[in-house]
């Protein structure tokens, strides 16, 4: 009787250990928390990106991730500093990946090597830390903003949402029937990338085209968030089907080609909240 009881207890212990091991593999990253540089080979070239990994373990679904792309001629450090995403990621348990463009820029042409690079980053993160595939988001400034539109189009089904800042969408970047949410950010005084658009969509016309493709209702609604003071912000949003995507524009009056940091980093916090609202089973 004692031998039989011991056998039962050992079997239960082994079962518990097996279950615990599966959970550990799903929630414990194999990479250390904090900032690190990772290298990949893409199209025969060595590419690098910087990863911020929070100390908090991922959920069983994996880590949510934001892919943040710098502007042309700029740096990862500059974008990380302007956005303040590392602190927000640490607070909320997100990973943030900062790709390094070749020659400090990204190739925004269809199916370019940089599209392959972003896809490789997603795959690398999934293998290394485990990703929640329903909460993958992209943003970027200027050239990186253009690139956000490009990857949303060329990698359908990958991104829950994108938030381009001071970067526009060309006509060949508009996804058909997209399930990706969009928050476009632009300054009214931007003389480098005019919000009116030149050869492609403007800030408002592009977002409206996105909304129409997603089945959102016209006309849009305009609001002025008081929390954005002293920034002069107009937010335009479209009423989209329940349980579907979000489409909106953050129009910052009087701002040029920059990632504004006024109002205690209101813009970064607004983008971050948008990512949190558009990921997971209820937001995609």
Closest by CA to 75, choosing from 141, 174, 172, is 141
| CATH number assigned to the domain comprising residue 179 | 3.40.50.1820
Rounded mean pLDDT of 171-190? 94
Predicted local confidence at residue 58, as pLDDT: 82
Task: Find the distance separating the first CA and the last CA of the chain, reported in whole Å.
Answer: 55
Number of domains in the chain: 1
- CB 216 within 8 Å of CB 207: no
Q: Give the pLDDT band (50/70/90) at residue 200.
A: confident
pLDDT of 180 reads 96
3 belongs to a structural domain: no
Residue 1: pLDDT band with limits 50, 70, 90:
very low
If pLDDT is split at 50, 70 and 90, which confidence band does 23 have?
very low
- The structure tokens listed for 240 are 């989209």
d(CA 270, CA 174): 23
202 in a structural domain: yes
Note whether residue 17 is domain-resident: no
Residue 76 lies in a domain: yes
CA-wise closest residue to 40 among 87, 102, 95: 102
Position 13 in a domain: no
Residue ranges making up the domain that contains 156? 29-277
Residue 32: pLDDT above 90?
no
User: Tens of pLDDT along 147-162?
Assistant: 999 999 999 999 999 9
Q: Which of the two residues, 18 and 233, has the higher pLDDT score?
A: 233
Q: Is residue 58 domain-resident?
A: yes
Q: Classify residue 49: in a domain, yes or no.
A: yes
Of the chain, the percentage scoring pLDDT greater than 70 comes to 88
pLDDT above 90 for 141: yes
| pLDDT tens by residue, 43-98 | 999 999 999 999 988 888 999 999 999 999 999 999 999 999 999 999 999 999 99
User: Between 228 and 16, whose confidence is greater?
Assistant: 228
131-141 and 95-99: which strand pairing? unpaired
124 sits in the region (left: phi over 0; alpha: psi -120 to 50; else beta) called alpha
Name the band, by pLDDT with cuts 50, 70 and 90, for residue 178.
Answer: confident
In a domain, 284, yes or no: no
Read off the tokens for 38: 């990772």
- pLDDT score of 24 more than 90: no
């Amino acid at each position: 009787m004692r031998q039989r009881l011991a056998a039962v207890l050992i079997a239960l212990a082994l079962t518990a250990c097996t279950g615990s091991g599966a959970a550990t593999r799903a929630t414990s990253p194999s990479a250390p928390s904090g900032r690190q540089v990772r290298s990949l080979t893409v199209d025969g070239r060595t590419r690098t990106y910087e990863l911020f990994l929070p100390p908090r373990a991922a959920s069983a679904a994996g880590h949510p991730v934001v892919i943040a792309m710098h502007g042309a001629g700029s740096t990862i450090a500059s974008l990380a500093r302007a956005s303040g995403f590392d602190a927000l990621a640490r607070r909320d348990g997100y990973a943030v990946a900062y790709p390094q463009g070749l020659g400090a820029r990204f190739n925004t042409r269809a199916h370019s090597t940089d599209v392959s690079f972003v896809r490789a980053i997603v795959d690398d993160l999934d293998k290394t830390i485990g990703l929640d595939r329903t909460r993958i988001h992209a943003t970027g400034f200027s050239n990186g903003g253009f690139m956000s539109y490009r990857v949303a189009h060329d990698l359908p089904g990958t991104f829950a949402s994108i938030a381009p800042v001071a970067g526009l969408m060309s006509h060949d970047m508009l996804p058909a029937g997209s399930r990706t949410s969009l928050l476009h950010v632009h300054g009214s005084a931007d003389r480098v990338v005019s919000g009116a658009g030149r050869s492609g969509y403007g800030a408002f016309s592009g977002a409206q085209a996105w909304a129409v493709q997603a089945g959102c209702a016209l006309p849009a609604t305009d609001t002025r968030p008081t929390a954005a003071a002293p920034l002069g912000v107009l937010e335009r949003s479209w009423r989209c089907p329940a349980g579907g995507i979000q489409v909106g524009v953050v129009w910052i009056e009087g701002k040029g080609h920059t990632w504004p940091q006024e109002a205690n980093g209101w813009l970064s916090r607004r983008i971050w909240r948008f990512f949190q609202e558009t990921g997971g089973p209820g937001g995609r």
